[in-house]
Amino acid sequence: MAPGSGAGAVSEPVTGQPVVISTWDTGLAANKGAWEVLSRSGSALDAVEAGVKVTESSINCCVGLGANPDRDGFVTLDASIMDHQFNCGSVAALERIKHPISVARRVMEKTPHVLLVGAGAQQFAVAEGFPLEDGKLSGDAKKAYEQWLKKSEYKPVINIENTKSSAYMAAPARLPNGEWNHDTIGMVAMDASGNLSGSVTTSGMGFKMRGRVGDSPIIGAGMFVDNEVGAVAATGQGEDVIRMCGSHAVVEYMRQGMTPEQACKAAVERIIRIKKEKAKDIQVAFIALNKKGETGAYAIQKGFSYAIKNNTEERMVEVKSIL
């Protein structure tokens, strides 16, 4: 799929249950993981956890422990999960744990809290039996970090894919020169009972300030589920998604009667109004699923796509953009 070719494409509605959608090309493999659960009449919650765990496990992907580190050389991970009853859990700046999404689920199920961060999140994970990994950078991440260290230039802006080579679309992983500076997988699903759930997991922004947390673990920003209406996940410049509670806004637009695509577009337009001329420098995209099983997405910039899987199809959907 050529980068940017999504400008005129439409993500047509899909009806029928169950269905799973997730961000970027890595979503194809992740959807398969989710589908193993959904096709056996499992819950959407189990599906969105199983799905993004596939991505967290892939060593040279920019999600999970294989991801780019922060500017001090530590891989710090953010993740969140939410079910059909407003139960939610998240972790931020979690180090040396392979499956942040499962720790987020444990926060949801085993604590009275929603979000645990940093050392406390790791302590909780270890107490829950998650193995503490060695914390070494993966081969690709080490190369990318060494490359970045040469200039140590702090540029906290997420890549805009369409301005880069087609390698960005073909394989959303870092390029040898370390230019690719982020990746996230966001997933939303509906199960055979018609219940919705969502999950997001990410290393955030490569070479970020130590302690920087993006939108992904912030419920309502990086992901939100309202089982009466729909489920939404975000990707792109996290700070700008947090500022306007992006995923929550998309759900509210759908509540007002918009289709998933219209709702994602309205949220993206709102970010552009907030950012004014600076909008051209950032990428933000949303994916959404409503109670009818219709899906849609919208991005600020060209080059974004999402993966869909249901009973009848399994494919990438190119997404329209404003710019």
Q: Which of residues 211-230 bind ligand ASP (CB under 6 A)?
A: 214-216
- Residue from 55, 90, 138, 184 touching ligand ASP (CB under 6 A): that is 184
Query: By CB under 6 A, how many residues form the interface with ligand ASP?
Result: 14
How many CB atoms lie under 10 A from the CB of residue 293?
18
Q: How far is the CB of 167 from ligand ASP (least distance, A)?
A: 16
Given the rule CB under 6 A, which of 42-50, 82-90, 177-185, 258-266 is the region that contacts ligand ASP?
A: 177-185
305 lies in the binding site for ligand ASP (CB under 6 A): no
68 lies in the binding site for ligand ASP (CB under 6 A): no
64 lies in the binding site for ligand ASP (CB under 6 A): no
- Residue from 49, 70, 95, 183 touching ligand ASP (CB under 6 A): that is 183
Given the rule CB under 6 A, which of 127-135, 160-168, 176-184, 302-310 is the region that contacts ligand ASP?
A: 176-184
Active site residue 184: yes
Nearer to ligand ASP, 38 or 187 (CB): 187
Q: Report how far residue 227's alpha carbon sits from residue 31's, in angstroms, rounded to the nearest whole number.
A: 20
The CA distances from residue 24 to 139, 185, 194, 268, 292, in Å, are 23, 7, 24, 17, 23
Q: Which of residues 232-271 bind ligand ASP (CB under 6 A)?
A: 235-238
Given the rule CB under 6 A, which of 129-137, 148-156, 179-187, 288-296 is the region that contacts ligand ASP?
A: 179-187
202 lies in the binding site for ligand ASP (CB under 6 A): yes
158 lies in the binding site for ligand ASP (CB under 6 A): yes
Given the rule CB under 6 A, which of 65-73, 113-121, 165-173, 200-208 is the region that contacts ligand ASP?
A: 200-208
Q: Which of 23, 76, 184, 259 is the catalytic position?
A: 184
- Residue from 96, 98, 174, 182 touching ligand ASP (CB under 6 A): that is 182
Q: Report how far residue 168's alpha carbon sits from residue 185's, in angstroms, rounded to the nearest whole number.
A: 15
Nearer to ligand ASP, 37 or 264 (CB): 264
Nearer to ligand ASP, 225 or 285 (CB): 285
SS (H, E, C) the chain: CCCCHHHHCCCCCCCCCCEEEEECCCHHHHHHHHHHHHCCCCCHHHHHHHHHHHHHHCCCCCCHHHCCCCCCCCCCEEEEEECCCCCEEEEEEECCCCCHHHHHHHHHHHCCCCEEEHHHHHHHHHHCCCCCCCCCCCHHHHHHHHHHHHHCCCCCCCCCHHHCCCHHHHCCCCCCCCCCCEEEEEEEEECCCCCEEEEEEEEEECCCCCCCCCCCCCECCCEEEECCCEEEEEEECHHHHHHCCHHHHHHHHHHCCCCHHHHHHHHHHHHHHHHHHHHHHCCEEEEEEECCCCEEEEECCCCCEEEEEECCCEEEEECCECC
Nearer to ligand ASP, 88 or 213 (CB): 213
Q: How far is the CB of 73 from ligand ASP (least distance, A)?
A: 18
Give contact residues for ligand ASP (rule: CB under 6 A).
158, 182-184, 202, 204-205, 214-216, 235-238
Which residues participate in catalysis according to the annotation? Answer: 184
